[in-house]
């Protein structure tokens, strides 16, 4: 079962903290002494979802591993904005090698720790969607297949953001990127291509696969902490809106993530050994337009030369997710 929401304490577990909850029911992020794994002064854009998601995830992993954690990082925004030589924002041992080899580097660290008998030391690998679903994919699949003791975290902002918003295999259909221009009869990214890496990870029958968003901290922390209590290959994909690449306001990052989940566009679930064991239900269902409209990458679908049929196809994708994962409760609303 997924993270249990606390039913009624004013804001319950919707907010980051809640003074009405017992201390052990509070989030890692609410702690005055959280590790702040990526510290202030990093060069991420205003309102960066990836910087936020990484702190949420790594702070939770640090809390679960008592600070005995090493991170291997793929090339990408997260690496570039956090660590321009000689500065770094990271507050844990952290290594960057290449764009495509982070899973292999992490595997090597885990093996070394095992040999040295340092069983308490845990390893995470992390990268963007490009680094994960495209260029690092071979290493990742190998890491899964060998069931190496690594938690791999993919920060999914749906394109190669660091080099200027190129399409990746995680870019959604119809979204405009620098390499999928809004021209022709079917503008933006194509339909029917791309990869669903959480499902591919499940197909490796690894102990744990989950998705999460920066809009639901408590669920995200629950999943990272749970993954850290398990051993073997684990995969979490975190949905992290990118104001620059999506053309959204910097203050809308969390709202966009919430809408992606509430529309069904990004299904939030967890799976153990290849089987879905929990989904986070939609709380207040919204139509896909509400999610698309604030994003400039979908602007060509609206306005004078609108593409209602494309919007309908995107809605159909969301509806399919809702059906497939059972994202709606009878009655549609999960709290009292």
Partner 1 sequence: MSKPFAITLKPGTSLANLTGTWRSERPVYLDRLPPCNNACPAGENIQGWLFHAESGDYEQAWRVLTESNPMPAVMGRVCYHPCENSCNRAQLDSAVGINSVERFLGDEAIKLGWKFAAPATTSGKKVLVVGAGPSGLSAAYHLARLGHQVEIQEAGPLSGGMMRFGIPKYRLPREVLDAEVQRILDLGVTLKLNTKVARIEQSMKEGNFDAAFLAVGAHIGKRTFIPAGDATKIVDAVSVLRSMEGEDKPMLGRRVVIYGGGNTAIDVARTAKRLGATEAIIVYRRTRDKMPAHDFEVEEALQEGVMIKWLSTIKQAGEGEITVEKMQLDDKGYPQPTGEYETLAADSVVLALGQDVDLSLLEGVPGLELKDGTVQVSSNMMTGHPGIFAGGDMVPSERTVTVAIGHGKKAARNIDAWLRGTVHQAEAKHELAEFQNLNTWYYSDAHQTVRPMLDIIRRQTSFDEVQGGLDETNALFEARRCLSCGNCFECDNCYGVCPDNAVIKLGPGKRFEFKYDYCKGCGLCVAECPCGAIKMVAEET
Ligand X SMILES: Cc1ncc(C[n+]2csc(CCOP(=O)(O)OP(=O)(O)O)c2C)c(N)n1
Binding region for ligand X (CB under 6 A): 50, 75-78, 99-100, 127-131, 157, 160-163, 168
Binding-site member from 9, 137, 191, 302 for partner 1 (CB under 8 A):
9
Using rule CB under 8 A, residue 229 touches partner 1: no
Mark residues 118-147: x for contact with partner 1 by CB under 8 A, - for none: ---x--------------------------
Structure token digits, residue 280: 């986070």
Q: Which residues contact 110 (CB under 8 A, 6 or more apart)?
A: 123, 148, 149, 150
- Rounded Cα gap, residues 177 and 163, in angstroms: 11
Q: Three-state DSSP class for 180?
A: strand
**Do 36 and 91 form a contact (C-beta atoms < 8 A)?**
yes
End-to-end CA distance of the chain: 19
Binding-site member from 4, 25, 44, 136 for partner 1 (CB under 8 A):
44
Binding-site member from 73, 75, 82, 295 for partner 1 (CB under 8 A):
82
- Rounded Cα gap, residues 135 and 166, in angstroms: 13
DSSP 130: I
- Rounded Cα gap, residues 18 and 27, in angstroms: 9
By a kind-dependent CB cut-off of 5 to 8 A, residue 23 interacts, out of ligand X, partner 1, Mg ion, none, with: none
Q: Which residues contact 304 (CB under 8 A, 6 or more apart)?
A: none
Using rule CB under 5 A, residue 100 touches Mg ion: no
**Do 50 and 241 form a contact (C-beta atoms < 8 A)?**
no
Residue with smaller CB distance to partner 1, 111 or 121 = 121
By a kind-dependent CB cut-off of 5 to 8 A, residue 162 interacts, out of Mg ion, ligand X, partner 1, none, with: ligand X
Using rule CB under 8 A, residue 88 touches partner 1: yes
Distances (CA, A) of 158 to 18, 122, 267, 300: 32, 28, 15, 18
Using rule CB under 8 A, residue 19 touches partner 1: yes
Distances (CA, A) of 94 to 48, 81, 231, 326, 329: 20, 14, 20, 38, 42
Residue with smaller CB distance to ligand X, 39 or 163 = 163
Question: What is the full DSSP assignment across 7-38?
Answer: --STTTTTSS--TTS-GGGS-STT-TT---SB
Using rule CB under 8 A, residue 40 touches partner 1: yes
- Rounded Cα gap, residues 80 and 107, in angstroms: 22
Using rule CB under 8 A, residue 205 touches partner 1: no
By a kind-dependent CB cut-off of 5 to 8 A, residue 20 interacts, out of partner 1, ligand X, Mg ion, none, with: partner 1
Residue with smaller CB distance to partner 1, 256 or 301 = 256
Residue nearest Mg ion (C-beta atom): 128
Residue with smaller CB distance to Mg ion, 28 or 257 = 257
Chain centroid to CA 180: 23
By a kind-dependent CB cut-off of 5 to 8 A, residue 254 interacts, out of Mg ion, ligand X, partner 1, none, with: partner 1
Binding-site member from 119, 164, 181, 250 for partner 1 (CB under 8 A):
250
By a kind-dependent CB cut-off of 5 to 8 A, residue 179 interacts, out of ligand X, partner 1, Mg ion, none, with: none
Which 153-212 positions form the footprint of Mg ion (CB under 5 A)? Answer: 157, 161
- Rounded Cα gap, residues 244 and 253, in angstroms: 10
Q: Which residues bind Mg ion (CB under 5 A)?
A: 128-130, 157, 161
* Interacting residue ranges for partner 1, rule: CB under 8 A: 7-12, 14-20, 27, 29-30, 32, 36, 38-44, 46-49, 51-52, 55, 67-68, 70, 82, 85-93, 121, 217, 243, 249-255, 258, 333, 335-336
């Amino acid at each position: 079962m997924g993270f249990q929401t606390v039913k009624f304490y004013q804001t319950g577990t919707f907010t980051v903290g809640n003074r009405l909850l017992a201390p052990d029911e509070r989030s890692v992020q609410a702690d005055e002494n959280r590790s702040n794994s990526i510290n202030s002064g990093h060069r991420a854009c205003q309102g960066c979802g990836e910087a936020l998601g990484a702190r949420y995830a790594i702070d939770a992993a640090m809390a679960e591993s008592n600070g005995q954690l090493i991170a291997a990082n793929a090339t990408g925004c997260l690496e570039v904005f956090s660590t321009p030589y000689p500065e770094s924002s990271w507050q844990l041992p952290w290594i960057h090698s290449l764009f495509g080899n982070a899973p292999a580097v992490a595997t090597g660290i885990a093996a070394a720790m095992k040999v040295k008998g340092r069983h308490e030391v845990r390893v995470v690998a992390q990268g963007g969607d490009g680094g994960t679903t495209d260029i690092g994919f071979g290493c990742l699949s190998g890491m899964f297949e060998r069931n190496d003791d690594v938690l791999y975290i993919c920060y999914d902002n749906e394109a190669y953001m660091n080099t200027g918003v190129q399409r990746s295999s995680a870019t959604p259909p119809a979204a405009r990127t620098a390499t999928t221009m809004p021209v022709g009869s079917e503008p933006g990214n194509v339909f029917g291509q791309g990869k669903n890496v959480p499902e591919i990870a499940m197909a490796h029958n690894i102990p744990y696969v989950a998705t999460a968003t920066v809009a639901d901290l408590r669920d995200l922390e629950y999943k990272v902490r749970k993954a850290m209590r398990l051993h073997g290959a684990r995969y979490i994909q975190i949905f992290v809106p990118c104001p620059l690449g999506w053309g959204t306001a910097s203050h809308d990052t969390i709202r966009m993530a919430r809408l992606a989940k509430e529309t069904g566009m990004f299904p939030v679930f967890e799976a153990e050994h290849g089987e879905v064991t929990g989904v986070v239900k939609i709380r207040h269902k919204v139509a896909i337009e509400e999610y698309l409209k604030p994003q400039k990458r979908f602007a060509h679908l609206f306005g004078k030369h609108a593409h209602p049929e494309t919007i309908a196809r995107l809605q159909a994708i969301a509806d399919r997710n809702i059906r497939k994962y059972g994202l709606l409760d009878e009655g549609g609303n999960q709290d009292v």
